[in-house]
Amino acid sequence: MNIRPIRTESDYEAALRELSAFFDNEPEPGTEDGDRFEVLATLVEVYEAKRFPIEAPDPIEAIRFRMEQGGLTVKDLVPSIGQTNRVYEVLNGKRGLTIEMIRKLHRNLGIPAESLIGT
Tell me: do 67 and 103 sit in the same domain: yes
**Which amino acid, one-letter code, is at 34?**
G
Tell me: do 75 and 98 sit in the same domain: yes
Residue 4 maps to a domain:
no
Model pLDDT, residue 119: 53
Model pLDDT, residue 54: 82
Rounded Cα–Cα distance for residues 15 and 4 (Å): 10
Tell me: do 77 and 104 sit in the same domain: yes
- The answer, yes or no, to whether residue 84 has pLDDT greater than 90, is yes
Residue 1 maps to a domain:
no
* Percentage of the chain exceeding pLDDT 90: 80
Residue 85 maps to a domain:
yes
Contacts of 78 (CB under 8 A, 6+ apart): 84, 87
Tell me: do 90 and 46 sit in the same domain: no
Contacts of 23 (CB under 8 A, 6+ apart): none
Q: What is the pLDDT of residues 92-118, one digit of tens each?
A: 999 999 999 999 999 999 999 988 987
The model's pTM is 0.58
Residue 42 maps to a domain:
yes
Tell me: do 64 and 112 sit in the same domain: yes
> What's the domain count of the chain?
2
> Could you tell me the residue range of the domain that residue 71 belongs to?
59-117
Q: What is the pLDDT of residues 30-83, one digit of tens each?
A: 999 999 999 999 999 999 999 998 887 899 999 999 999 999 999 999 999 999
Residue 2 maps to a domain:
no
